[in-house]
Every structure is written in structure tokens, then in C-alpha cells.
Amino acid sequence: MDAAAGRFVYLLGMLAVGVGARSLGLLDEHRRDRLNALAFYVVLPSLIFVSTYDRALATLLSPELVFGVFVVLFATVGLAWLIHRRRSRTDRRGVAVVQSYHSNLGYLGLPLVAATFGPDATATAGLLLGLVTLTQVPVTVWVLVTVADAEVSVLDQVRELVTNPVLIALALGIVVAWFGLGVPAAVVTPLSLVGELALPVALILVGSALELDQSIVDPTATASVVALKLCWMPLAAWLTFSTLGVDSAVFTASVFMLGMPTAVSTFVYATELGGDAEFASLNVFATTLASVGTSFVLILLLG
């Protein structure tokens, strides 16, 4: 209980640092972009590599894990479509569906797992990050294109996935682990130190991006997104992976990662593919703030 409360206070505190840094002008858009680039190209890849390179991935990357992720993800997509299908504004309909399942795995999920649940759960979380990203990004593009009838370059989307530094680091870690290749301590030690920055950097970035415009508030739609993303999705993961009988590390990482708030990247997709960008920003704000409480509950339950 004390450890979980400590994580809860730490999470709140770092989010507050991000909000304060933006409010005081210390973290303006230019500096936030540079910090984001540091996290995306250096910190997160370092964390993922050191979390996977020496793990028994054959036991972690199981058919049960892949099947369970697909069940939870597509069940949530289907349920979100049913709930939001009658919304009159098509630009909000697509965004609401997407933000009900598209999880913030890189900036919040993986760093929180690494800071809380131990090395095996962290290795599983790294695998989940790659598996879910490769699945939810194409689904998100398809949903937004279908609803908004936007034009999108499939080649550009594939290129972004292939050159994603997080996925490259995951692939490298899997190759090293699978073939039992040795990595010198002189390489692992600095990468581990850099990877420890993932959680505070991620929380500061998320906090600095939290903004609320009351003029575009749609309480019913936003409440539905929050309920699906932070209540239904981790519950579905809990039931699914309990039924599949996976080991404790896989169960813990899967439930926690799939219970993360809506990814900030959904705002970018909404902007590029004809969705309501302001509504998307509001939902990122709402799910991220609400996840402070739900993450605390999940840490208590999964402890």
C-alpha cells in the first residue's frame, strides 16, 4: 500500500511539474519538441533494449499473449464502434472510437511498468508495446479514413512504422535475446541509466501537453471514451488473460499496459486524417488525468 501510494504521489508530482513548466514558459513548444525527440529517439529505445536483450523471450512471447491482446483490442474497437456509431458529427465519431482503444504504451505504460513491477513484467511490456503498436496504428488509420473519408498514403504509414526507433530497439533486443548474444557492460550500463529517465521525462511531457478548452466539451462522448479506455479495457484484459492462464509477469504487464490512457498521438492522427482535433485533445486530457486514479488502483490490485 505504501509503495503504491508513493507511485501515485510521484505520478501526480511529475505531471504537476510538466504543467507548471508550461505555465511558467520554461517548457515552451520548441523545448517540448526537443524533449519529446530525446524521449522518442534515445530514452525509450534505451529502456526497451535493456528490458529485452537478456530475457527468455520464447516464454514471454507466447501464443496466449498474442491472442489475448488481439481479443481485448478488437473487442474494444467493436464495442466503441457500437457506442459511438450514432454520433451526428462524423469527425467526432471516428475520434471517439479511436481514443477508446488507442493506448499510451510508450510514454506512460512501459515506464510505469519498469518503475513498479520488475524485470520480467518490463520485458513483457516491451513486447506488448511493439505488438500493440503494430496493430493499433493501422486500425486507427483505417477507422479515421473510413469515417472521415480522408486520403492517406499507405506507403508513408508503413515507412513510419519501419523507421520507428522504439520498434527498431525492440527488434534489436529480441534478436540479441533470441540468439543469446553477449552485450558488454560498458554498453548496458549507460543505456540502463538513460532508460531510468523514461518515466519522469514521459510524465513531464504529458503534463506539459495537458490543456482544456471548455468550448468544445462534449460530456457524454468524453465520459464514454474514459469509461471504455480506463474501465472496460483493463477489465477485458483481466478476464481474458485470467482465462488464458498466463504467468504472473505476462498477466500484470498486459492488464496494466492495456489500462493506460489514450495516446497523445491520436491527436496527431485526428489532425492529419480529418478528425476533430480539439475534441481529441480534450479526450487525451480527460483520460490522462483520470488514469492517475485508475493506475493507482491497478498498482494496488496487481502489486
Instruction: Please state the domain count of the chain.
Output: 1
pLDDT tens sequence across 174-225:
888 878 888 888 888 998 888 888 778 877 877 776 666 666 677 888 999 9
Beta bridge partners of 103: 262
Instruction: Look up the CATH number of the domain holding residue 23.
Output: 1.20.1530.20
Query: So what's the pLDDT on residue 91?
Result: 76
127 lies in some domain: yes
CA distances in angstroms from 218 to 55, 59, 64, 222, 286, listed in the order given = 45, 45, 38, 6, 11
Q: What is the pLDDT of residue 148?
A: 62
pTM: 0.76
Say if CB 288 and CB 262 are below 8 A apart. Answer: yes
Q: Give per-residue pLDDT as tens, 25-41.
A: 888 888 888 887 888 78
CB atoms within 10 A of CB 245: 9
Class of residue 46 by CB neighbours under 10 A (exposed 0-12, middle 13-18, buried 19+):
buried
pLDDT for 1: 45
pLDDT at 4 over 60: no
Whether 303 is in a domain gets the answer no
pLDDT per position as a tens digit, 138-172:
788 788 877 765 566 667 767 766 777 877 887 88
Using the predicted structure, report yes or no on whether residue 23 has a pLDDT greater than 90: no
pLDDT digits (tens, 9 = 90+) for 227-261: 999 999 999 999 999 999 888 989 999 999 999 99
Residues 152, 92, 153: CA angle, nearest 5 degrees = 5
- Which are the contacts of 162, defined by CB distance < 8 A and separation ≥ 6? none
Considering the domain boundaries, does residue 42 fall inside one? yes
Q: Which domain holds residue 141?
A: 2-209+217-298
**Cell 508495446, residue?**
129
Query: Residue 72's pLDDT is what?
Result: 96
Residue 89 lies in a domain: yes
How far is the C-alpha of 122 from the C-alpha of 12, rounded, in Å?
Answer: 22
pLDDT of residue 239: 97
Cell of 50: 535493456
Percentage with pLDDT > 90 across the chain: 22
**45 assigned to some structural domain:** yes
- 276 Cβ partners below 8 Å, 6+ apart? 89, 91, 92, 95, 216, 270
* Residue 85 covered by a domain: yes
pLDDT in tens, 85-140: 887 677 788 899 999 999 988 778 888 888 888 888 888 888 888 788 778 877 88
Q: pLDDT-derived band of residue 292, with 50, 70 and 90 as boundaries?
A: confident
Kindly report the average pLDDT of the chain as a whole number. Answer: 82
Three-state secondary structure readout of the chain:
CHHHHHHHHHHHHHHHHHHHHHHCCCCCHHHHHHHHHHHHHHHHHHHHHHHHCCCCHHHHCCHHHHHHHHHHHHHHHHHHHHHHCCCCCHHHHHHHHHHCCCECHHHHHHHHHHHHCCHHHHHHHHHHHHHHHHHHHHHHHHHHHHHHCCCCCHHHHHHHHHCCHHHHHHHHHHHHHHCCCCCCHHHHHHHHHHHCCHHHHHHHHHHHHCCCCHHHCCHHHHHHHHHHHHHHHHHHHHHHHHHHCCCHHHHHHHHHHHCCCECCHHHHHHHHCCCCHHHHHHHHHHHHHHHHHHHHHHHHHHC
Instruction: Locate 73 and state its grid cell.
Output: 483490442
Are 234 and 57 spatial neighbours (Cβ–Cβ below 8 Å)? no
Q: How confident is the model at residue 228, as a pLDDT?
A: 97
pLDDT tens-digit series, residues 51-71 = 777 766 666 678 888 999 999
Residue 254: inside a domain: yes
